[in-house]
Amino acid sequence: MSGSTKPYLIRAIYEWCIDSDLTPYISVVVYPDLDMPAHFVTNDEIVFNIGLQAAHDLVISNHHISFMARFNGVPRKLDIPLHAVKGIFAKEVNQGLSFPVEDREADDQAFVTESQETDLVESMTYQEKGLKKTNLRIIK
């Protein structure tokens, strides 16, 4: 998935939903090896509310979407690879983006090299943030 715009578009629609007081939902293709709450799957697809009230500790990375959610009152951590995300939309206005179903094997191979790249970028980002630390002083 190197160079893919998909994670950036997902984050942009998510932010638009939050800024517009809309509820962001993602549609996910459910593959046999994907661990999803089975009783919510319809036609090999599941839809998740990833709004602030429903999804906790939400991370939309370049490789996956992960969050904590409750299903029938039971908390569960979900980790959804981006290749399984079919779309993101605002529930209230039914607007958003849909994506073509991607090749899972190509995505899995890209994940190994990109995850190593991500570690380096996150490390560099953390260091840069440390350099840009501002100090406030009270001037009388």
Residue 1 is predicted with a pLDDT of 44
How many residues in the chain? 140
Cβ atoms 24, 37 nearer than 8 A: no
Closest CA to 85 of 69, 61, 118: 61
Could you give the domains of the chain? 6-129 (2.30.30.220)
What distance in Å separates the CA atoms of residue 36 and residue 77, rounded to the nearest whole number? 10
Give tens-digit pLDDT for 48-91. Answer: 999 999 999 999 999 999 999 998 889 999 999 999 999 999 99
Q: Which amino acid is at 133?
A: K
Q: Indicate the pTM of the whole model.
A: 0.71
Of residues 124 and 44, more confidently modeled:
44
pLDDT band with cut points at 50, 70 and 90 for residue 7? very high
Tell me the two tokens of residue 59.
């991370």
- Cα separations (Å) of 28 from 127, 132, 136? 35, 38, 45
Interval 18-22 mean pLDDT = 97
